[in-house]
A and B are shown apart, each in its own frame.
Chain A
Amino acid sequence: MTLRMLGAASLIALAAAGSLQAATPAAGDTLAPPDQQTFSYNVIDEFVTLDPALIEVVDDNDVARQLFEGLLNQDPLGNVVPAGATSYDVSEDGLTYTFHLRPESKWSNGEPVTAEDYVFAWRRVVDPATASNYAWFMGLGGVANADKIVAGEVAPDQLGVAATDPQTLVVTLERPAPFFPQMTANANLFPVPQKVVEQFGTEWTQPGNMVSNGAYTLSERVPQERITMVRNPNYWDNANTVIETINAYVIKDEQQAVTRWRDGEIDKTAVVPAGQFPTLKEELGDEAVAVPNLCTYYYHVNLREDANPALLDPKVREALNLAIDRDVIINAILAGGQKPAYTLTHWATAGWEVPEVPAAAMTQEERNARAKELMAEAGYGEGGEPLTLEILFNTSESHQQIAIAVSQMWKQTLGIDTTLANQEWQTFLDARKEGAFDIGRAAWCADYNEASTFLDIMTSDSDANDSQYLNPEYDALLETALTAEDPLPSYQQAEQMIARDVPILPVYFYSSNFLLDGTVRGWPMENAQQYWYAKDMYQVAEQ
């Protein structure tokens, strides 16, 4: 498929999916009365910020998607559908995106949403004065001059985004980024109201000050306790919204959240306390939910020159990788619908097909046998030179349990000793960055729903490459994928390269577990990033 066709295909998909958005009660559902159309859920930690330019964590993004509306939304399957834009075109070279905005879109104060609002918002994200943690996101999408503006080399008004008329937004990229439309569903690329931001400064996100263009507006915000959002009568599709109020409670104790869910106070919990999923599933049935979560749990192997010399031998690394019995970790420790990982990219990533790698095809007996052979060839472990490795992880019960299990597996299969070192989070991050470890725990979560969000972290210049895997061949492969008509083969080759060189030991693919009240309809179970929109949901009457 050429890029032009890809663009055209997207347009068609957008038009077809358009009617699916908004809360459409299924046949046979009896809606609960309006005073019961409330959706309450809990988060584990206080919201960091509601300013789209600054948002980086999932919980803040969730709130922003209710309050604001970007160019495109995700449908329940994770495909992009029209939202602030009704359609877009892509130039032949894949470098220019033209978004056609929805003319009836309004801010909550009744003023129209224009292309200028997007231009203002996007420049603000990269402006050094904004000091956004997520300023790099615009550069990731390849928006022209984004990285230079962040570095202070050129002025923010040089960003590759322009309003050619109030309803047309033209985005210029430096390099093709097939995933760019996906990125517009992220809060950082939402429009913000220029006048309000300029009038109130950092206070503009406070209730009473904030003006937004989404299906809901901010009504109350009590730090460390809750956020309340109510329907926005000026939202263009307000007529099709059913949920009246959204409450987001900060409940840090996971067990307390379950108690409050049982009490009927909240409809959805953030998580299920570790280890409780199987029993809750048995008790609650469909109300105990497991969905894929685009994060991968893995161990870094330290490949620095001054690292443990044994780890520089690929045979040792492969033996370590093979000797980890993932099924034990998933079934006996986590027990929440996770899947074993032999590769880096999460299996549920859009457009992704997990490539065949040798380790995945073997049984655990075969893996163990092969691991023993490799270790013997390398001359370590039983009958060879004694080897002691340290697993470094941040203090947490489940990381500890996994590390203990892995050390047992290595001891039994390979005859090597492992010491466990746990550190407080910040200390741990420093140690991992500086390479003060043999094996270091890590997890990576997708920034957008495409394989390169995972594979990029193993490139030589990636800040997240704490293994220090430096392979020009790998870097080149990902570079070609950027302009390829179909990047999948390059991505799969990259995975096979990782499987061959073993700079990391993938352990498992995350899942999300939570409790969801049976009266809530429209939760996007099959959306891998769990991008949910309360405007597409509704409460049915209790049976």
Chain B
Amino acid sequence: MITYILRRLLVAIPTILILIVLSFMLMFAAPGGPFNSDKPLPAAVLANIEARYGLDQPYVVQIFNYVKNIVLHFDFGPSFKYRDQTVSGLIAQGFPVTLTYGSWAFAVSTVLGVAIGTVAAIRHNTWLDYLAVGSAIGASVLPNFVLSPILVLVFTIWLGWLPAGGWSNGGWEVVVMPVIALATTYVASIARIMRSSMLEVLGSGFIRTARAKGLPMSRIIWRHAMKPAMLPVLSYLGPAFVGMITGSVVIDIYFSTGGIGQYFVNSALNRDYAVIMGVTILVGVLTILFNLLVDILYAWIDPKIRY
């Protein structure tokens, strides 16, 4: 097991390198640049700025220097757009925000999704099942850019319970609406996966045996059905967790949370090369780590799986 984990971590290094090179190529292929604006810069001014950020170097040298600074100094460079900030500084500031509301959204969506999916499967083809499936479909077609304004309308404008946005120090009252807005679609997806996988497990031989033995239904679900039914959900949860803790551009912008979700879109629009790379690498590393974690959990849940 240990060697397996080590091997996976070693493979991650070339994966990240390939990710860096591909992202760089895409960035350079995109038209425009970080210093274009409505008011074009005089050539001498532009040359000074490009020299400052090393953009006057050949592409290969730029990539090499970038990787070198990360490896030697863990330095992801300065932001090209936000000139008082470094990429590490922006991520250090914004990541705790998305990690907070993302973790809550993950907990809420996992618990609710698994519960709804399980109940729907147990009460297959009853009104409970139809209600669960119906609301799951409803929730999954309700994007957060529609849901967020509705939440503000209800909780801020009508009820006056919650502030419309901002983060201050991340008190519960500013976290509630981002969590609901982010979790809703995930609850729906998890419930649907859980329902179908639970149905499949409930129809399998060992469950019929357990029933024949006269075990109570609650015990069958908890002791025997839950673990195998969780496997498909688990492989969904790994990437979903990364998706949630890195935030959402809609939520960060709409609720002014200050999270890093917005950088995924804004840095590309601004051609802020350093920030694009920073968030890309962050997601890359997290994805690799959580996929590994999912695989380890697989082995723990299903004794048939051995590495």
Interface residues of chain A, those whose CB is within 8 Å of chain B, are: 46-51, 54, 128-133, 135-136, 147, 150-152, 202, 205-206, 222-226, 249-253, 255-256, 259-260, 262-263, 265, 424-427, 429-431, 433, 442-444, 463-464
Contacts and interface: CB of A to CB of B under 8 A. Distances in A.
A259 B48 contact: no
A131 B56 CA distance: 13
Given A136-B42, A152-B44, A225-B167, A128 B51 contact: yes
A150 B84 contact: no
Contacts of B85: 223
B271 interface: yes
Contact of A256 (B93, B94, B256): B256
B201 interface: no
A424 B81 CA distance: 17
B42 A463 contact: yes
A443 B21 CA distance: 37
Contacts of A427: 30-32
Given A136-B42, A223-B93, A225-B258, A430 B31 contact: yes
Given A50-B84, A135-B45, A259-B164, A249 B256 contact: yes
B78 interface: yes
Contacts of B94: 223-224
Contact of B262 (A222, A224, A424, A431): A224
A252 B251 CA distance: 11
A250 B269 CA distance: 18
18 contacts: A48-B82, A50-B84, A54-B83, A131-B49, A132-B48, A147-B44, A150-B48, A206-B84, A223-B85, A251-B165, A252-B256, A260-B165, A265-B163, A426-B30, A426-B269, A429-B40, A431-B31, A464-B39
Contact of A249 (B41, B48, B166, B269): B166
A48 B45 contact: no
A256 B165 contact: yes
Contacts of A464: 39-40
B253 interface: yes
Interface string B23-35: 0000000111101
B37 interface: yes
B234 interface: no
Contacts of B78: 202
A222 B84 CA distance: 12
B149 A255 contact: yes
Nearest to A425: B269
Interface of B: 30-33, 35-42, 44-45, 48-49, 51-53, 78, 81-85, 89-90, 93-94, 149, 152, 156-157, 163-167, 252-259, 262, 269, 271
Contact of B32 (A49, A132, A152, A429): A429
Contact of B81 (A48, A256, A444, A463): A48
Nearest to B41: A133
Contacts of B41: 133, 136, 463
B174 to A, nearest CB: 11
Contacts of A128: 48, 51
Contact of A133 (B49, B256, B257): B49
Contacts of A433: 40
Interface centre among B39, B157, B257 (most CB of A within 10 A): B39
B83 A51 contact: yes
A202 B85 CA distance: 9
Contacts of A250: 256, 258
Nearest to B260: A224
A252 B149 CA distance: 14
A435 B44 CA distance: 22
A465 to B, nearest CB: 9
Contacts of B83: 48-49, 51, 54, 202
B152 to A, nearest CB: 6
Contact of B164 (A46, A205, A256): A256
A228 B191 CA distance: 44
Contact of A222 (B40, B258, B271): B258
Contacts of A46: 82
Given A202-B78, A263-B163, A427-B31, A225 B257 contact: yes
A136 B46 CA distance: 10
Contacts of B89: 223
Given A249-B256, A430-B36, 10 more contacts: A48-B81, A48-B84, A133-B49, A135-B48, A150-B42, A222-B93, A225-B166, A426-B269, A429-B40, A463-B42
B2 to A, nearest CB: 40
Contacts of A253: 165, 253-254, 256
Contacts of A444: 38-39
A131 B52 contact: yes
A527 to B, nearest CB: 22
B269 A251 contact: no
B82 A429 contact: no
A331 to B, nearest CB: 26
Nearest to A429: B36
Contacts of B93: 222-224
B37 A429 contact: yes
A223 B36 contact: no
A225 B256 contact: yes
A429 B39 CA distance: 10
Contacts of B84: 47-51, 202, 205-206
Contacts of B33: 426
